[in-house]
Structure 1
Amino acid sequence: MTIPATMKAMVLTGHGDLDKYEWHEDWPTPQAGPMEVVIKVGACGLNNTDVNTRTGWYSKAVDEATTGGAYDEVDDEDSTWGGAPLTFPRIQGADAVGEVVAVGEGADPGLIGKRVMVAGWLRDWDEPMNRDKAGYFGSECDGGYAEYTKADVRGVAPIDCDLSDAELATFICSYVTAEGMVDRADVGPGDTVLIPGASGGVGGALIQLAKLRGARTIAMASEAKHAEVAELDPDMILPRDPGNLRKALKGEKITVVADVVGGDNFGKLIDVLERGGRYTCSGAIAGPLVELDLRTFYLRDLTFTGSTVNGPENFTDVVKFIEDGKIKPALAATYPLNQLREAQQAFIDKTHTGNIVVIP
């Protein structure tokens, strides 16, 4: 196919509110370099990383919950997930799905015409697990909020399934993040996993992926979303804040807490962990600063793991789970790409269950 010289794209011009996004209809179309492919984007999912990067929430100067608004006290020197300044203008969007339309030197021409998912993590492929060299698609390079994007051929995977592009775009960030969390916490049969924020993309993924490993799952979500969360078949659903959490659990023994929420309820989550339990975290949307009684931590022999840069196998495992029909998408809504601001506001408002996706 003929690739146009320019494309439509939503471009982030700096840290701040939603007005920092600018719509362009004549942005230069990316060209494939060595070991790269150009992808015609079919859909791109939204995620918290995009919101947090835009607002500068990752900066240590910020101690509030994720709100989606600008922060006056942001330090631009540490306002991204990796603690390094972001280069503007930047096209965000980590969860890109589409068709390969061109390949660079060294990339397999047989990929042209194939539908692919982009892994998200940018790696030094000589040292793929060197976290100091890791970057993120749509952060350290341009991503999928455009008609076309490009990616390292080693960071994409052909996908063979009947799901739509929009449905596939719900998996990448959420499910790869969740798979990294359950992997790092070594979740398996005999575990009972408590999942705050279960109505979100990562929370819903955690329910499915923990169950795939043979664990029991207990979801926490606002009661208005319980019916939708129930479609993912957790073993129990609790309110977002049940008050006395231990009493609400009715004797369930929690061996793992998989958390992307943080905030004021953090202490309650740690208090219900069994001796030798594991806490794994990949987010703090309700607030990054929490109180911890160190006596609970060490006297109960707890293990805490942060989970951000996960292994390449977590992405390939998720792709295989999709193709085998072992996990299902939770598509909350789709928006045209030129309505990204409205889509991201809906994402921030958290009235949805699952993931929101934009279509170029």
Structure 2
Amino acid sequence: MTVPRTMKAFVLTGHGGPEVLQYHADWPTPEPLPDQILVKVGACGLNNTDINTRSGWYSKSVTDATTGDAYGEVGQEDPSWGGAAIAFPRIQGADAVGRVVALGENADPALMGKRVMIDCWLRDWDDPFNKDKTGYFGSECDGGFAEFSVADYRNVHPVESAMSDAELATFSCSYSTAEGTLSRAQVGDGDTVLVTGASGGVGSALIQLAKRRGARVVCLASENKHEEIARLNPEAILPRAPTDLPSALNDAIGRDTVSVVADVVGGDYFASVIDVLERGGRYTCSGAIAGPMVSLDLRTLYLRDLTFAGSTVLPPHIFADLVSYIEQGEVQPMLAATYPLEQLHQAQASFVEKKHTGNIVVLP
């Protein structure tokens, strides 16, 4: 195809509320460097990283829950996922799916014309397992909230699937995050996993991927979302924050403890989920949407031989594994809604309201 010189794009101009995201109809189309390919973006999913980076929530000066609005004080040295400043202007959007339309001179020619998913994690390909040498697509480089985007050819995976671009765009961030979270906790056959925030993108992915590993899954979610979550066939679905969680578990599954808690919520209910971990249980976390500041009785941690794991940067095989699960039909998309790119403000407002189940996607 003939690549136009300009494109539609949403550009982040600083940290703050939605007003710092500005729409442009004539933003320069990027040109691929020697190791890059140019992707015509078909769809790009929304995720918490986009919202949190825009608002500056990652800064340690912020202790509130994620809201999507501007905070009164945001540290300028650590407002991104990696604890460092990012460069503006920046096109966000990590969950990009599209078709390769141009190649840099070093890129694999077999990629030309292929439909691809972009791995969110940027790596030093001379040292790909070094977590200190990573970046995030749409954070340390421009992402997919635009008609075109460039990516290192080693960071894209061709995908053979009957799913639409919008459906495929629900997977990249949420499902790779979930798979990494479960991998860190070594979840497997015989485990019982308690999933918090089960109606969100990562939560719904955790349900499917934990079941794929042979685990029983118990979900916590608002009751108006239970019908949608039931499509994923968890062992049990409980209210978002039962007053007596051990009793609720016992009534649902015949035991009052679990072997693993997979948490994306944090906040005031943190102590309740820790208290239902069995002796030797594992807590694994990849989010804190209800608030990052929690209370922990260290006696619970050491007297019950618990293991805690945080999960952000993923080993390279996780994304390739996820693409294989998609191609083999082992996971299903949870597409909540689509918006045209021009309505990114409305899409983010809907995302922050958390009234949806699954993932919201924009279509350039």
Q: Secondary structure at the match of 1:188?
A: coil
Please tell me whether the aligned partners of residues 192 and 259 of structure 2 are also in contact (alpha carbons under 8 angstroms). yes
Output the CA distance in 2 between the equivalents of 1:314 and 1:178.
Answer: 10
After TM superposition, give the deviation of residue 188 of structure 1 in Å. Answer: 0.3
Aligned equivalents of 1:329 and 1:140: distance in 2? 27
What residue number does 1:209 align with? 209
2:302 aligned partner: 298
CA distance in 1, matches of 2:239, 2:57: 27
Report if the CA contact (8 A) 2:79-2:85 is conserved: yes
The letter for the 1-side match of 2:10 is M
Task: Indicate the SS of the match to 2:77.
Answer: helix
Q: 1:55 is matched with which residue?
A: 55
Give me the whole-angstrom Cα distance separating, in 1, the residues matched to 2:127 and 2:301. Answer: 33
Residues 174-323 of structure 1: pairs in structure 2 closer than 5 A: 174-250=174-250, 251-323=255-327
Residue equivalent to 1:44: 44
2:11 corresponds in structure 1 to 11
- C-alpha displacement at 1:34, in angstroms? 1.5
Q: What CA distance in whole angstroms lies between the structure 2 residues aligned with 1:305 and 1:311?
A: 15
Q: Deviations over 1:206-244 (max 9, x none)?
A: 000000000000011000000001011110000001110
> Which residue in the other structure is 2:31 paired with?
31
- Answer yes or no: is 1:101 the counterpart of 2:101: yes
Whether contact under 8 Å (2:247, 2:256) holds in the other structure is: no
Distance in structure 1 (CA, Å) of the matches to 2:257 and 2:269:
18
Q: What TM-score do you get using the length of structure 1 for normalisation?
A: 0.99
Q: Deviations over 1:307-358 (max 9, x none)?
A: 0001111101110000000000000000000100000000000000000000
Once the two structures are superposed, what CA deviation does each residue of 1:170-211 show, in whole Å capped at 9, x if it has no partner?
Answer: 000000000000111000011000000000000000000000
Aligned equivalent of 1:165: 165
- Separation in 2, partners of 1:70, 1:260: 22
Percent identical: 67
1: CA distance, partners of 2:347 / 2:263: 24
Query: Which secondary structure state, in structure 2, belongs to the residue aligned with residue 291 of structure 1?
Result: coil
Distance in 1, Cα, partners of 2:291 & 2:72: 17
Letter of the structure 1 residue corresponding to residue 175 of structure 2: Y
What residue ranges of structure 1 are gaps of 5+ in the alignment?
none
Q: Could you tell me which amino acid in structure 2 is paired with residue 8 of structure 1?
A: K
Per-residue CA distance 1:270-301 (angstroms, 9 max, x = gap): 00000000000000000000000000000000
CA distance in structure 2 between the aligned counterparts of 1:271 and 1:309, rounded to whole angstroms:
27
The secondary structure found in structure 2 opposite 1:214 is: coil
1:27-68 CA-partner distances (Å, limit 9, x unpaired): 010111111100000000000000000000000000000011
CA distance in 1, matches of 2:322, 2:348: 25
Deviation of residue 252 (structure 1)? 4.5
Separation in structure 2 between the aligned mates of residue 298 and residue 167 of structure 1, nearest angstrom = 43
- Partner in structure 1 of residue 344 of structure 2: 340
Q: Tell me, yes or no, if the aligned pair for 2:196 and 2:203 is still in contact at 8 Å.
A: yes
Q: Does 1:123 align with 2:123?
A: yes
Q: Give the paired residue count.
A: 360
Q: Secondary structure at the match of 1:202?
A: helix
Residues in 1 aligned to 2:27 and 2:305: alpha-carbon distance in whole angstroms:
54
Unaligned runs of 5+ in 2: none
Instruction: Quote the residue 1:350 is aligned against.
Output: 354
- The TM-score with structure 2 as length reference comes to 0.98
Cα distance in 2 between the residues matched to 1:285 and 1:129: 28
Per the TM alignment, residue 253 of structure 1 is displaced from its structure 2 partner at its CA by 3.2
In 1, Cα distance between equivalents of 2:241 and 2:70: 27
Question: Counterparts in 2 of 1:76-95, with a 5 A limit?
Answer: 76-95=76-95
Letter matched to residue 99 of structure 1? R
Once the two structures are superposed, what CA deviation does each residue of 1:86-128 show, in whole Å capped at 9, x if it has no partner? 1000000000000000010211122111000000000001111
Partners of 2:129 and 2:224 in 1: how far apart?
Answer: 40
Q: 67-76 or 172-181: which moved more? A: 67-76
Query: What amino acid sits opposite 1:329 in the alignment?
Result: P
3-state SS, counterpart of residue 166 of structure 2: helix
Indicate the larger mover: 228-237 or 102-111. Answer: 102-111
Secondary structure at the aligned position of 1:10 is classed as strand
Greater shift in the superposed pair: 245-254 or 18-27:
245-254
Equivalent residue, structure 1, for 2:137:
137
Q: Which moved more, 1:325-334 or 1:248-257?
A: 248-257
State the secondary structure of the residue aligned to 1:76.
coil
